[in-house]
Amino acid sequence: MMIYMFVLFFCGVWVFCSNRKHLLITLLSLEFIVLVLYFVIYFYLLEMDYELFFSMVFLTFSVCEGALGLSILVSMIRSYGNDYFNTYNILQC
């Protein structure tokens, strides 16, 4: 079970590191990594017979992170018209 979670986690990290064109794909891969980490924490807390309160706190912070990423995406699309990293004047030297 844990090997499956490690494979999922590293697949999400690979997508995050390999695709640098679109902001939306980057945000989706970050959310996938957070979801895999949530499952790992949840199964660990169930296995050790702890309370699941920490998993709810983690889920709350991950929802806040997702909302912040979507707000940045919407503001960049409204400013520049697309989500390509190459068209942003801020990132060019």
Give the per-residue pLDDT at 29: 92
Ordered by start, the domain boundaries in the chain are 2-80
Q: For residue 19, what are the contacts with CB-CB under 8 A and spacing of at least 6?
A: 25, 26, 29
* Whole-number pLDDT of residue 13: 93
How far apart are alpha carbons 40 and 80 in whole angstroms?
38
pLDDT value at 88 more than 80: no
pLDDT of residue 93: 52
Residue 73 has pLDDT above 80, yes or no: yes
Q: Model's pTM, two decimal places? A: 0.82
CA distance 12 to 37: 11
State residue 89's pLDDT score: 59
d(CA 19, CA 16): 6
Measured distance CA(14)–CA(62) in Å, rounded:
20
CATH number of the 2-80 domain = 1.10.287.3510
